[in-house]
Amino acid sequence: AQKRSIQVGSSVFYDPEDSVYALDSMCLEWADNGRGDYRQSPTEFVMPDGSFVTDFIYESHDVLDGCVPMDTLPTAYGGNQTLKITLKDKAFPIFIDLYYTVFEQTDVITRRAVVRNEANAPLTIRRIMSMTMDLPDECFQMYTLDGGWIKEANLHKRPVTYGITVNSSTTGASSNRHNPAFIIAEADANEDYGDVYAFNMIYSGNHYSIAEKNERDDVRVSMGINPHLFEWIVSPGDKFETPECVMSYSSRGFNGTSHHMHDFINEHIVRGDYKKKERPVLLNNWEAHFFDFNEGKLLRLAKDAKELGVELFVLDDGWFGDRNNDNAGLGDYTVNPKKLPQGIKVFADKIRKIGLNFG
């Protein structure tokens, strides 16, 4: 437990009967607006009365077997147990359910939040993170994967300094600019030694993550949907689910968290026939033809590919509409009869007759 023995100047008392109890001097599991915690809150709500002040406190908890399914978003599967903690706002019947699912064999915990509106008026969400976590500083470094078109996932390292460091995307996708995955590691961490915290999201939309260091050298890590231009109205009796975040820790450096994340993805994200199978050797026709092809060219390429040991033939861009260059046809997903006069199905059957799978 954190010791509090003296009043902290420039802080707001949370409890008038306890003059040393100030939220901005504590590590918190969840945080609010308007109660004296000046760090970035995981939530920004417009409450039913139009105010922004919230005070979510513990209501109940439950330990559930396995994973708890989501209604609106994809999630990991095969977890051992889930802890559900319910918070309730002091002024309104608004609830936040915090879900922590343990994947023991891969040393991973996933987190997400569900906002439930049981008031008789709408609730407006302007910000809702999937998780927030306060850590004592270890001279942390933040590692992100940044880039752009044809230069994705370049590793960048920066110190977590006072203020807020942001890793985010506003492109409508997780993007090639800033991958949602990031790492917080102690300054001396290497591949085999040191405290390393790894984070990722099971989500392909706009994302937002922060590492915020305050004046007490505590570091808040938050992750969730990007609040940029975000607004969601939760009607009475309705709920809102956040994407699931993936968290892992290792005292054995970057290799430790890498193994955890690899094992987690392989065992609890990947599904279907290829979960335990080697992927087929494939040929994608794009670099061979760009937009300039017809059925004859494609079949000749497929036959040559078969002789080289290729197992899967992938037809890329240019088979639809007037898609003969980058300036036309995108979105007109009807087969171009000049290129594939008998359609996709007949062409796919011809590829399979050569002995290749088709995609």
The per-residue pLDDT for range 194-251, each reduced to its tens digit, is 999 999 999 999 999 999 999 999 999 999 999 999 999 999 999 999 999 999 999 9
Q: Tokens for 169, please give them.
A: 């995307």
In terms of C-beta density within 10 A (0-12 exposed, 13-18 middle, 19 or more buried), how is residue 195 classed?
buried
Among the listed residues 14, 48, 46, the one whose alpha carbon sits nearest the alpha carbon of residue 31: 14
Q: What is the structure's pLDDT at 243?
A: 99
8-12, 224-228, 244-248, 332-336: range with lowest mean pLDDT: 8-12
Residues β-bridged to residue 141: 159, 185
Q: How far is CA 7 from the centre of its chain?
A: 39
pLDDT in tens, 97-130: 999 999 999 999 999 999 999 999 999 999 999 9
For CA atoms 184, 188, 189, 195, the dihedral sign is negative
As a whole number, the mean pLDDT across the chain is 96
Give the tokens for residue 89.
């706002």
Give 279's pLDDT tier (boundaries 50, 70, 90). very high
Q: Domain boundaries in the chain?
A: 23-268, 282-358
23-268 in CATH: which number? 2.70.98.60
Confidence of residue 183 (pLDDT cuts 50, 70, 90): very high
pLDDT digits (tens, 9 = 90+) for 33-91: 999 999 999 999 999 999 999 999 999 999 999 999 999 999 999 999 999 999 999 99
For 5-9, 131-135, 197-201, which range has the lowest pLDDT when averaged over its residues? 5-9
Q: 0.75 cut: is pTM over it?
A: yes
- What is the C-alpha to C-alpha distance for residues 135 and 247, in angstroms, rounded to an integer? 14
Q: What is the CA radius of gyration of the chain?
A: 25
Asked whether 55 and 42 are in contact (CB, 8 A), the reply is no
What confidence tier does 1 reach under pLDDT thresholds 50, 70, 90? Answer: low
The proportion of the chain whose per-residue pLDDT surpasses 70, expressed as a percent, equals 98
**pLDDT score, position 3:** 66
CB 211, CB 160: distance < 8 Å: yes
